[in-house]
Amino acid sequence: MGISKYTLSNGKTFWQVNTWLTLPDGTAKRFSKRKIPTREQAVALEAKKKSEAFEGRYLPEREAAKTRAPSLSVAEAWRLYEPVSARDNDSHATDRGRAAHVTAHVGNRAASSLTLADIEAYREARLAERTKRGAAPSPATLDREVELLKRVLNHAVACGKLSANSVAKVKLLRKPNVRRTVVDEDLFAKLLAAAEPSLRPILVVLFDTGMRLREALNLRWATATDAYGLDLASGTVRLHPEATKGNDDRVVHLTERALAALRAMPRRLGCPFVFPNPETGRPWQDVRKAWQRACAGAGLDGIWIHDLRRSFATRARRAEIPESVVMRMGGWRTRAVFDRYNVVADDDVREAARRLEAAAGRRGRVLDEIGGGGAEDTKAPRS
């Protein structure tokens, strides 16, 4: 009894524990465990089991196996979380896309066994893949996928399906990837001149309103029975909650330039869509190729069509429109997201300094006029 050493036929040496444990009620239970690599581990195990027995926490292995929670795979954890994502998250479709990558690589793994090494291996595997743009996923993309995995496992813990989130302390890459490209009026004029006629009104609407590309492409004409859509008479676009990323009812007021471009556009009879594909009669699914041709014709490189939305936010802020109003116009619900679109350049800081200087000059003149700017101000008052 106790701790002993033994050797297998292949020459490997192990230690075993074979001892009696006294329970709080005075009864004795025999505990045996073999194939322990070192004597120190065997001594520690024996001490642990005796302590559990003394405190009334000892549970034989067979009974412990019965009470042990079944192993939950990462894919099962996602299936548990997906209905919650669909109900509570505006970006459920995005979550689903990210989850497809996660489950493709680690879906069969037990959620409780994931480690930092698994996350690093996942990142390396994803970096070897290519996105629709032909490049490797960005660090921010990998961070959002790992963040989703953390949320999924946290939900499994909250539901009692998992004892702990094994990757909760995994650090994110947090490499900055905020684009700084801003399209000004001169640049936009070049793009518009090089764009195909069918693309021009779309670009004007995007540039002048800050609408998301999909919001614009899916745009319908407002009717007598449905006020949602484009109404040229009032110069507004009323977006249905289901048509926006944030599920918010939003009214977009069009500029005169956007209205002129829309009025000059030929309208297809009987078609409810503002920007239909002439071959299908349905909204355009992708205008990136037409955009790339416009950029090439204008001699521009590295500009994305989504940069027009960022340009709207930056131009509106530079026009001294209150940021809360700009957020309402573009459908930004949080300040953190809006700040990713609102580009503050050196010229903005220089202009702010100039205004402060001008304000200080005005204050100095006022002080002089009321007698507060002279040297006599420093004299002590007469008693």
Residue 74 has pLDDT above 80, yes or no: yes
End-of-domain residue from the set 23, 46, 67:
67
**48 with 90, same domain?**
no
Residue 174 counted as domain residue: no
**191 with 337, same domain?**
yes
**48 with 130, same domain?**
no
Residue 10 has pLDDT above 60, yes or no: yes
**106 with 233, same domain?**
no
Residues 6+ apart with CB under 8 A from 273: 218, 219, 220, 221, 281, 282, 283
Residue 83 counted as domain residue: yes
Predicted pLDDT of residue 102: 96
**88 with 38, same domain?**
no
Closest CA to 210 of 187, 247, 174, 239: 239
Residue 370 has pLDDT above 70, yes or no: no
**81 with 126, same domain?**
yes
Residue 176 has pLDDT above 80, yes or no: no
Predicted pLDDT of residue 58: 77
Q: How many CB atoms lie under 10 A from the CB of residue 38?
A: 11
Residues 6+ apart with CB under 8 A from 125: 105
Residue 319 counted as domain residue: yes
Cα–Cα–Cα angle for 184, 179, 307, rounded to 5 degrees: 45
Residue 346 has pLDDT above 80, yes or no: no
Strand 2-7 and strand 13-22: pairing? antiparallel
| DSSP assignment of 173-225 | ------------HHHHHHHHHHS-TTTHHHHHHHHHH---HHHHHT-BB--SS
- List pLDDT tens digits, range 179-188: 778 889 999 9
**150 with 249, same domain?**
no
Predicted pLDDT of residue 177: 58
- List pLDDT tens digits, range 102-117: 999 999 999 999 999 9
Read off the tokens for 153.
Answer: 């496992």
- List pLDDT tens digits, range 204-213: 999 999 999 9
d(CA 273, CA 267): 9
Residue 347 has pLDDT above 90, yes or no: no
Predicted pLDDT of residue 382: 53
**119 with 239, same domain?**
no
Q: What DSSP character marks residue 11?
A: S
Predicted pLDDT of residue 2: 86
pTM (two decimals): 0.55
Number of domains in the chain: 3
End-of-domain residue from the set 43, 67, 91:
67
- List pLDDT tens digits, range 138-170: 898 999 999 999 999 999 999 999 999 999 999
End-of-domain residue from the set 67, 88, 118:
67
Percent of all residues in the chain with a pLDDT value above 90, rounded to a whole number? 49
Residue 314 has pLDDT above 70, yes or no: yes
Name the most confidently modeled range: 47-61, 189-203, 225-239: 189-203
- Give the range of the structural domain holding residue 139, as residue numbers without chain letter: 74-158
- Per the prediction, the chain carries an average pLDDT of 85
**24 with 124, same domain?**
no
Given a contact cutoff of 8 angstroms between Cβ atoms, the answer to whether 279 and 285 are in contact is no
**153 with 233, same domain?**
no
Residue 241 counted as domain residue: yes
**277 with 218, same domain?**
yes
pLDDT band at 333 (very low <50, low <70, confident <90, very high): confident
Residue 382 counted as domain residue: no
d(CA 29, CA 21): 5
d(CA 244, CA 214): 9
Tell me the angle at which helices 74-88 and 139-158 cross, rounded to the nearest 10 degrees.
90
Of 100-114, 137-151, 231-245, 328-342, minimum mean pLDDT range: 328-342
CATH no. for residue 272?
1.10.443.10
Residue 375 counted as domain residue: no
Predicted pLDDT of residue 369: 66
Residue 130 has pLDDT above 50, yes or no: yes
**87 with 213, same domain?**
no
